[in-house]
Amino acid sequence: MLRSVGEHFKLTVNGVPTEIEASGDTPLLYALRNDLELKGTRFGCGTGQCGACFVLIDGHPAPACDTPLWSIAGKHVTTVEGLGPSGALHPLQETFLAEQAAQCGFCTSGILISAAALLAKNPKPTEDEVRAALDRNLCRCGSHNRMVRAVMRAAAGART
């Protein structure tokens, strides 16, 4: 059984100090989804190319599928479930709903993470900056323009 070789990793997930017992090579994605039951971070490719599994690691978007547990001990991880203040939606999630900015919604979590990282760094982005910031995230349904509008709307809301 895996537990016999499991190591213990301490990290902070959505503000909560957490200990995970697993092999150090375990990608963060599976620790989040299966050990912590945070299912909003999704598997898409396993090689960091689609963005469906993006989380914030110390504030920077990174693919959880390609991030081994050993590399993030002691760090702060934010998943889509932890973007907003506890129990509430992040302003981006509100504007995504207002713009109905999804079709299947599978890529949405990762896109919210990228957008939140952008707005934290650049609260008044241009549309081109939003598109560039989301270029590491793939959307197959063609909901791109709605999502860009939702990000711009969240930025506009934050200004007023």
Partner 1 sequence: MNTVADARLRRAGSLEKNPRLCQWLRLERDGTVSVFSGKVEIGQGILTALAQIAADELGVALERIRMVAADTSLSPNEGVTSGSLSIQDSGSALRRACAHARALLLERAAERLGVPVSGLRVKDGTVRAGGRSTSYWECADKALFDRDVEEHASLSRLPGEQRVVGTSSPRRDLPDKIAGRPRFIQDMVLPRVLHGRVVRPPHGFAGLDSLDDAKARSIPGVVAIVRDGGFLGVLAEREDAAIAAQLALRDAASWKESAPLPRDIYGWLKANAIDHRVISEKVDGEARSREARTLAASYSKPYISHASIGPSCALAQFEGDKLTVWSHSQGIFNLRRDLSLALDMPEEAVVVRHVEGAGCYGHNGADDVALDATLLARAAGSRPVRVQWMRDDEFGWAPCGPAMALELRASLDPSGNIVAWQHDLWSNGHSSRPGRSDQPALLASWYLARPYQRPSAINMPLPAGAADRNAIPLYDFPNQRVVNHYVREMPVRTSALRSLGAYANVFAIESFMNELAQAAGADPIAFRLRHLSDPRAQAVLEAVARRANWNGWTPREGRGCGIGFAKYKNLGAYCAVVAEVEVGHEVRVHRLNLAVDVGLVINPDGVRNQIEGGAIQSISWTLKEQVKLGERGIASLGWEDYPILKFSEVPSVEIELLDRPDLPSVGAGEAAQGPTAAAIANAVENALGVRVRDLPLTPDRIIAAIERE
E strand or H helix at 8, and its extent? strand 7-13
Residue 22 touching partner 1 (CB under 8 A): yes
How is residue 67 written in tokens? Answer: 């991030």
DSSP for residue 143: -
Tokens of 129: 């900056």
The residues pairing with 37 across neighbouring beta strands, listed in sequence order, are: none
Distance between CA atoms of residues 55 and 8, nearest Å: 21
Q: Copy the structure tokens of residue 86.
A: 């506890």
Q: Please count the residues of this chain forming the interface with partner 1, following the rule CB under 8 A.
A: 63
105 backbone φψ class: left, alpha, beta (φ>0; ψ -120 to 50)? left
Name which position in 23, 24, 58, 70 contacts partner 1 (CB under 8 A).
Answer: 23
Contact window for partner 1 (CB under 8 A) among 49-57, 70-78, 118-126, 152-160: 49-57
The only residue of 141, 156, 157, 158 in contact with partner 1, by rule CB under 8 A:
141
Which of 97, 120, 156, 158 forms a contact with partner 1 (CB under 8 A)?
97
Residue 47 interacting with partner 1 (CB under 8 A) = yes
Is 2 a residue that touches partner 1 (CB under 8 A)? yes
- The nearest distance, CB 144 to partner 1, in angstroms, is 4
Q: Residues 98-137 vs partner 1: string with x where CB under 8 A?
A: --xxxxxxxxxx--x---------------x-xxx-xx-x
Rounded Cα gap, residues 16 and 51, in angstroms:
24
Residue 76 backbone dihedrals phi, psi, to 5 degrees: -100, 120
Tokens of 47: 């090689």
User: Which spans of this chain sit near partner 1 (rule: CB under 8 A)?
Assistant: 1-5, 22-23, 25-27, 30, 33-34, 37-47, 49-50, 52, 79-81, 89, 93, 96-97, 100-109, 112, 128, 130-132, 134-135, 137-148
